[in-house]
Structure 1
Amino acid sequence: MTKRRLAAGIGAFLLLIVTAQGAGANTSDKPKPNGRVLIISLPEITWSDLTQRDAPTIRGILDQGAVGGLTTRTITRATALTEGYLTVGAGTKAIGTGLTPILLASKGAGLEVGEKFGTGTAADAYEQRTGQSARQPIVYLGIAAAIAAQQEETYDAKIGALGDALKRAGYNSAAIGNADRTPSKSAAPEYERSLVTALMDSHGQLGGGEVGSELIEANAKAPFGLQINIDTAVSAFDDAWKPRSVVLVEGSDLARVDAYRNVVSPKQTLAITRAALRRTDAMVKKMMTKVNLERDTVIIFSPSPPSTTIPLGVAGMAGPGIDAGLLRSATTRRDGFVQLVDIAPTVLTQLGIKVPETMNGKAFTVAQTDMDANARRDFLIDSDQASQFRDSMITPVAIVFIIMIALLVVGAIISLNRPNRNQLRNLLHFGSLFTLGFVSAVYLARLFSFHQTSKFFYWLFVVAVAAIIGTISLAFYRRRANDDMLIALGLIVVIIGIDIITGGNLQFNNAFGYSPTVGARFSGIGNIGFSAISASTVIFVGFLVNRLGNERKFSRGVIIAWMILAAVLIIDVAPMFGGDVGGIIAMVPAFGLTAILLLGGRVQLRMRTVVIGALVTIGALTIMAAIDLTQPKGERTHLGQLIERVQNEGLGSFSDVVLRKLNKNIATFTGSVWVWMLPIVLGFLIYLALQARPQLRAITARTPELRASFIGFAVLAILGYGFNDSGVIVPGMMLGILGAVIIAQLALTASSSGLEETLNPESEPLRR
């Protein structure tokens, strides 16, 4: 019953916002009469590959336009070429695998209708598979499999949406490329012509271009002995490049290089990559003689990453009204970064065509910068390297944090059974402070470019800073009890809080933050950051009120605690700062409950209490949504974009988002090392409740205000897990912080004499 009421409340909230925003429906200009767009695809190419020596023409186009790092991630992290092109064509993340092995063989089968296929032609095979006649010169034989595959996902990608939109507006679409790995006349041809899927319509048909076997020629020195026939490709481009046209040209030799890299040495891989890039550049140079950047738009992108790594791809755009600068979009809200889903809306926007409501991507915009072309390229290469470094460190850092908590738990159990070991208690106390300092140190490490040095110096910095924080915190404890916790927890709150206010640069490419290669978030606060700052805050205010005094109902300590809770809430959830929708749902009830308990109020778990909490949370969501919707579309957070989707597509899109996040949440139980934090800390808490209840009582006897913090923490962890797609990562970080705090407190009350003293404290217990 509670779930139904909560869902109804959220639905009512969404309908309210949709109704309020109805007058602001999306509009677009009329199509430009002679607009043309050339899309150049560079499979598996990164910014570091594009040297002036190997690709002078492509570099020249990029240098005079706007550029960015492209997140190629679709539904799966390692995007295959077909998935990349399908995503471009849908304007939404799409999956490229079919449902059976026979359908998998059709992934790259974009054929000209007259080509031989099996015992007949491609047109015959298309009609057999779809029940439709082939009315266009090129067909995609995997169209039925591609559409069926999307039904298994929650992104609801509409395959061919870009092609349909162009056709409705009267534009011609064409694709030129052929990345086959075997001659078409071989006994078992391997088709790799998935570029067709980027511009085909929803029926799997494309109006023009050249993808047949005549586009490739034999060369014994090339990967698979095949290469693009540049003259044939240029001739096909000349035929397709007419007024009101969109033409996709693929550097198909580059795709063959990536497929070939597993059988050649790293040195030879570099050599054949450079050779393929030079040939692609030569082809583009000839085509650009027919392109006028004062009228025509050129978009350059990498549809998929190399098969061995997952770096940022290349994105660039040049043409009328496009100044030199850094690309960004409403899906990233960060200068210099765009996503694969943004390409289709960009093409349509450049032509003045309305972007279909089914597309989740947003058009590229240009952010002005003082960097010249070389500096922009260096910035993107450095960002990619930082992202690769972060991705390589995210699991080791999490494992180290979990191991530290596990060691503290083992030490605490030993200490509880042997309470007279003062050295062990002192070690546990410092170890807990060191562990809390470790969280701050990981964020501070992003101030330095460790990706340009080595992992050794990274670990040296993190360990040293954690030790310094632990030592300083310990020194404050010796001056006054609980000041150690105020320092260790307060630093986490301050570091993350200031970072979010100033742009979230410590979150970006951080092992406890997010990465553009993952593509889930590019700005604001990440889920681990939310976990760290919210858990630290809710415990911090308990220690703070105890430190400042709680002699009367509205004491100075309580008022300051309320102000801190409010400030952290705003930093985390406000659209211009953290932009954390899940944070609203978790923090408003948890922080509100903590604030009431610190004041001395009593809260009972009843349906009325749950309903009031839900209504207050919905009210906070409404306020944040209203603020978000006042921002320009390019600056809106996930909440504002969700409201737009609900407005355009109905409440069904909301359920899609919920299901998608739920699936991601559940997947973390098998795909994240953070899952180990749950049995370690929860098992320890159960042990304390069963075997060390006096010591557990001693913690709240020593600091009565922690009762409020612990209750608030429980609500925070449960809701934080339930409403964030990071799943166990959220309670994992929270429990790590809680575990370190509890073990530090146990270390201070473990001796029998200390236990008796803390069970009879002079301080007044928390009001009920």
Structure 2
Amino acid sequence: MTHRALAVALAFLATLGGVGVAVLGSGQARADDVPGAVVVVGTGGISWSDVSQETTPNLWLMLRDGSSAALAARSVYDNTCPADGWLGLSAGSRAAAPRDGEAPDPADRPCPGAPSVVDDAIPSWPSYLEHAEQQRFDTRLGLLAEEVDGAGLCLQGVGRYAAAGAALPDGTVDRWAPLDTDDLLVALNGCPVTLVDVGVVRDPDDTTSGDFVSASREDQLRAVDARIGEVLAAGPNGADYLVASLADAGRTERLRMVLARGPGFGPGTLESRSTRQVGLVQSPDLTATVLDAVGLEVPAEATGTPLTSQPAADNSQARADERLQTLRDLDEASHDVNDLVEPFFQVFAYGQLLVYVLVLLVWKGRLGAESTRTTVVSRVRALSVLAASVPASTFLANLVPWWRFPVEIVAVTAVVGGFAALVATLALRGPWARSPLGPPAFVAAVTMGVLAVDVVTGSRLQLSSLMGLQPVVAGRFYGMSNPTFALFATAALLLATTVSSVLVRRGLRTAAAVAVAVIGAVAVVVNGAPWWGADGGGPPALVPGVVLLVVAVLGIRMTWRRWALVAASVVGLFLAVSIGDWLREPSSRSHLGRFVQSVLDGTADDVVVRKAEQNYRLLVDGAPLSLLVPVALVVLVVVLARPSSWGSRALARAQEQAPTLRAGLVALVLTLTIGFAINDSGVAIPAVGATLAVPLLVSLTLAVVLREAQDGSSTRRGRRGRPA
């Protein structure tokens, strides 16, 4: 029976691996469009809050008559200089020009100036290439011009920054002209692809000391808008026009704007398969759109996908106003939440640490008298349940437009607190509250349910949420990011642990194992399916934890050989999912598929070094959230490994109510550890998982202590009431 059960568990692992390969290997081909002409009008520093009929009439007309979206313009640094944006257009991926200055963070240094063109070449190009190699992003500068030139077509650059976008990989520029209003008609009608630099808007209040801005922001906006109007009037008939703000206005990063008008883009909203968000696209999509517009394949090195338009009912002013408000909401929410993440987590992390200190004082009998200890334990338990309800509430908060309120930190805190209080109240007052396992199971189920429903319906709650996806970072726009996976996996394993504990106490071990397998299978599919969670690194971390819990529920003892078998299965599943991801079309691959490609290209060492540096910086600079890793997760490992410790003794008392608790925690530690090892910025996974796991574990243990105290009090009252 034991060997048969182990075989079933490993078969479950292999089946999920096969499903992961199948779904990750699926892709949908895109039919080629009829090639035509395309004009990219590039600027910088303009967001949707800057667009209005009065100040920018030409942009407003494009908004009314064309398609629009918020644009994530992200270089390799926290903010994007104009040169970075144009180099990114050239490469179809993240890029940046070197920045001179003494500030430790390059984002605080002045932006470099526009490149010059001497003898049909850019003198500063070698420094661009060297800098790209140092950043280890596998950036291929000159990709756009090389692909167009290789197809026998020509590309015209107009304006100084446009030279960077129009350059070939060796830095030469076949066709380039300065921006001259008198010569626009000739410059814009000679090639099927034209890049035009109409100038940038720099914010005088947001630039570094080395950036000198002579005009006001409004004057700059009016001047850029007028030049955009001139380009639109002089350009070729029947061409597609893309107007994009490729850079930030200063040190502050935020979403920018992009507009498209022409035969392929009528009134409506832009979307891209690279973001899967209507009204939100990223800079590499522009390169892919240009290549697609002239009938060329988008190479694997370009990380974007061609833009398409979701048509509007008409081009009325009312419809345009609605689109503008939606785009401003995207911009404001992403900008405000990016500034609020750090202070929010400071309060949340230190607040959790305070709860743990209270727990320790109560446990040691140093807080509250014996007569009031029950009350103190009850209140600390309620605080723990409330803390565990916060992660799910940070996503539910996006049901309310908190960014429209005057003081955003107060608004988002109030909304998150309101949802957390509602979830905690239901957890502590519902019919399930009679069992110590009830509140943790309820909070885990709510967390898992909220995240599952969100990714299945398009990840809108995650977008610009405190613990979700940050569009200005442009790391991920849909599915499950590392923090989301950490919360989802933790909630799934804790829910499986509580459900299996109830069934095991009733003598239903087989039913308990089936329940764990079903919860785990649902979690793996939602997390790993390309059309939902799209998380290539999630299944290899989550499946071993689920299998380990199934094996423990069935009462199978884990020998070193079985541990080795599980480890080999993890490696095999990781390779299978990675290769399956690599088999998808390049634009649909996750970081695992891209890593396989880097191995084939011989650049895997750059990826490994860059990811290791990212994890190190997050661990060193990520306080206070990173404090939860040594304080919570490491303590949990010690408690599990040392049966004589005070925490383990308390855990043993809780295990009487939850017989699969220790196995569930071991499974959770295994999942979070593997997730940390194989994912980009994986150090965030155990830290974020601890924000849910630790308070729920504390609430369960305190519930057992509280029940024992209440039972002891009832016994003492009964003894006093007996007749002598």
Q: TM-score, normalised by structure 2?
A: 0.84
Tell whether 2:425 aligns with 1:471: yes
Tell whether 2:227 aligns with 1:279: no
The Cα shift of 1:746 comes to 3.1
Aligned residue runs from structure 1 range 658-697, under 5 A: 658-673=608-623, 674-682=625-633, 684-685=635-636, 689=642, 690-697=645-652
Aligned to 1:160: 142
Tell whether 2:99 aligns with 1:147: no
Whole-Å separation in 2 of the counterparts to 1:288 and 1:693? 71
Aligned to 1:601: 556
Whole-Å separation in 1 of the counterparts to 2:502 and 2:269? 49
Aligned to 2:653: 698
Whole-Å separation in 2 of the counterparts to 1:311 and 1:394? 14
Whole-Å separation in 1 of the counterparts to 2:100 and 2:402? 43
Aligned to 1:427: 379
Tell whether 2:166 aligns with 1:199: yes
Q: Secondary structure at the match of 1:327?
A: strand
Aligned residue runs from structure 1 range 176-255, under 5 A: 176-177=158-159, 193-211=160-178, 233-252=180-199, 254-255=200-201
Is the Cα–Cα contact under 8 Å of residues 537 and 565 in structure 1 kept in the other structure? yes
Whole-Å separation in 1 of the counterparts to 2:586 and 2:682? 29
Is the Cα–Cα contact under 8 Å of residues 55 and 222 in structure 2 kept in the other structure? yes
The Cα shift of 1:546 comes to 2.1
* Bigger mean CA deviation after superposition, 417-426 or 576-585: 417-426
Is the Cα–Cα contact under 8 Å of residues 537 and 678 in structure 2 kept in the other structure? yes
Is the Cα–Cα contact under 8 Å of residues 507 and 526 in structure 1 kept in the other structure? no
Is the Cα–Cα contact under 8 Å of residues 157 and 177 in structure 2 kept in the other structure? yes
Whole-Å separation in 1 of the counterparts to 2:164 and 2:245? 15
The Cα shift of 1:740 comes to 0.8
State the percentage of identical aligned residues: 21
The Cα shift of 1:750 comes to 4.4
Aligned residue runs from structure 1 range 341-352, under 5 A: 341-352=284-295
The Cα shift of 1:414 comes to 0.9
Question: Closer, same or farther in 2 for the Cα pair 1:157/1:271, shift >3 Å?
Answer: closer
Aligned to 2:44: 43
The Cα shift of 1:140 comes to 1.6
Is the Cα–Cα contact under 8 Å of residues 668 and 727 in structure 1 kept in the other structure? no
Q: Partner amino acid for 2:302? A: M
Q: Secondary structure at the match of 2:156?
A: strand
Q: Partner amino acid for 1:429? A: R
Aligned to 1:418: 365
Q: How much is the aligned-residue C-alpha RMSD, in angstroms?
A: 3.7
Question: Closer, same or farther in 2 for the Cα pair 1:204/1:271, shift >3 Å?
Answer: closer
How big is each residue's C-alpha offset from its partner over 1:414-461, in whole Å with a ceiling of 9 and x where there is no partner?
112118422321122111111111222222111110111243232223
Aligned to 1:224: none
The Cα shift of 1:305 comes to 1.1
Whole-Å separation in 2 of the counterparts to 1:466 and 1:752? 25
Aligned to 2:414: 460
Tell whether 2:679 aligns with 1:724: yes
Q: Partner amino acid for 2:65? A: Q
Whole-Å separation in 2 of the counterparts to 1:26 and 1:51? 35
Question: Closer, same or farther in 2 for the Cα pair 1:274/1:738, shift >3 Å?
Answer: same
Whole-Å separation in 2 of the counterparts to 1:646 and 1:726? 18
Whole-Å separation in 2 of the counterparts to 1:705 and 1:435? 23
* Bigger mean CA deviation after superposition, 468-477 or 486-495: 468-477
Q: Partner amino acid for 1:677? A: L
Q: Partner amino acid for 1:378? A: Q
Aligned to 2:721: none
Whole-Å separation in 2 of the counterparts to 1:198 and 1:565? 48
Whole-Å separation in 1 of the counterparts to 2:208 and 2:100? 29
Is the Cα–Cα contact under 8 Å of residues 512 and 553 in structure 2 kept in the other structure? no
Is the Cα–Cα contact under 8 Å of residues 581 and 593 in structure 2 kept in the other structure? no
Tell whether 2:69 aligns with 1:68: yes
The Cα shift of 1:311 comes to 1.7
Whole-Å separation in 1 of the counterparts to 2:675 and 2:454? 21
The Cα shift of 1:365 comes to 2.1
Aligned to 1:508: 463
How big is each residue's C-alpha offset from its partner over 1:671-700, in whole Å with a ceiling of 9 and x where there is no partner?
323211112214644775544442232222
Whole-Å separation in 1 of the counterparts to 2:475 and 2:95? 15
Tell whether 2:345 aligns with 1:391: no
Whole-Å separation in 2 of the counterparts to 1:440 and 1:287? 48
The Cα shift of 1:147 comes to 0.5
From 339, 349, 360, the equivalent of 2:303 is: 360
Question: Closer, same or farther in 2 for the Cα pair 1:204/1:755, shift >3 Å?
Answer: farther
Is the Cα–Cα contact under 8 Å of residues 637 and 669 in structure 2 kept in the other structure? no
Question: Closer, same or farther in 2 for the Cα pair 1:238/1:413, shift >3 Å?
Answer: same
Q: Partner amino acid for 1:459? A: T
Whole-Å separation in 2 of the counterparts to 1:443 and 1:263? 35
Q: Partner amino acid for 1:157? A: T
Whole-Å separation in 2 of the counterparts to 1:251 and 1:456? 40
From 450, 465, 480, the equivalent of 1:495 is: 450
The Cα shift of 1:637 comes to 5.2
Is the Cα–Cα contact under 8 Å of residues 109 and 142 in structure 1 kept in the other structure? no
Q: Secondary structure at the match of 1:258?
A: coil
The Cα shift of 1:80 comes to 1.4
The Cα shift of 1:316 comes to 1.6
Whole-Å separation in 2 of the counterparts to 1:595 and 1:411? 34
Tell whether 2:273 aligns with 1:291: no
How big is each residue's C-alpha offset from its partner over 1:689-717, in whole Å with a ceiling of 9 and x where there is no partner?
54444223222233211122111111111
Aligned to 2:5: none
How big is each residue's C-alpha offset from its partner over 1:601-645, in whole Å with a ceiling of 9 and x where there is no partner?
22234433311333345456667777xx4xx987x3526xx6489
Q: Secondary structure at the match of 1:508?
A: coil
Whole-Å separation in 1 of the counterparts to 2:328 and 2:465? 17
Give structure 1 stretches of 5+ with no counterpart. Answer: 1-12, 114-133, 178-192, 216-232, 758-768
Aligned to 2:6: none
Whole-Å separation in 2 of the counterparts to 1:564 and 1:637? 27
Question: Closer, same or farther in 2 for the Cα pair 1:605/1:520, shift >3 Å?
Answer: farther
Q: Partner amino acid for 2:95? A: A
From 105, 109, 113, the equivalent of 1:108 is: 113
The Cα shift of 1:649 comes to 8.9
The Cα shift of 1:62 comes to 3.6
Aligned to 2:85: 84
The Cα shift of 1:579 comes to 0.8
Q: TM-score, normalised by structure 1?
A: 0.79
Whole-Å separation in 2 of the counterparts to 1:547 and 1:355? 54
Q: Partner amino acid for 1:108? A: G
Aligned to 2:54: 53
Is the Cα–Cα contact under 8 Å of residues 21 and 580 in structure 2 kept in the other structure? no
Is the Cα–Cα contact under 8 Å of residues 412 and 746 in structure 1 kept in the other structure? no
Whole-Å separation in 1 of the counterparts to 2:191 and 2:335? 40
Is the Cα–Cα contact under 8 Å of residues 17 and 643 in structure 1 kept in the other structure? no
Q: Secondary structure at the match of 1:433?
A: helix
Aligned to 1:330: 273
Give structure 2 stretches of 5+ with no counterpart. Answer: 1-16, 713-724
Whole-Å separation in 2 of the counterparts to 1:261 and 1:401? 29
Q: Secondary structure at the match of 2:116?
A: strand
Whole-Å separation in 1 of the counterparts to 2:702 and 2:27? 61
The Cα shift of 1:659 comes to 4.6
Aligned to 1:567: 522
Question: Closer, same or farther in 2 for the Cα pair 1:38/1:460, shift >3 Å?
Answer: same
Q: Partner amino acid for 1:471? A: T
How big is each residue's C-alpha offset from its partner over 1:180-220, in whole Å with a ceiling of 9 and x where there is no partner?
xxxxxxxxxxxxx4432111112222234434xxx6xxxxx
Whole-Å separation in 1 of the counterparts to 2:279 and 2:40? 19
The Cα shift of 1:283 comes to 2.8
The Cα shift of 1:565 comes to 1.6
Is the Cα–Cα contact under 8 Å of residues 237 and 287 in structure 1 kept in the other structure? yes
Whole-Å separation in 1 of the counterparts to 2:115 and 2:626? 43
The Cα shift of 1:79 comes to 1.0
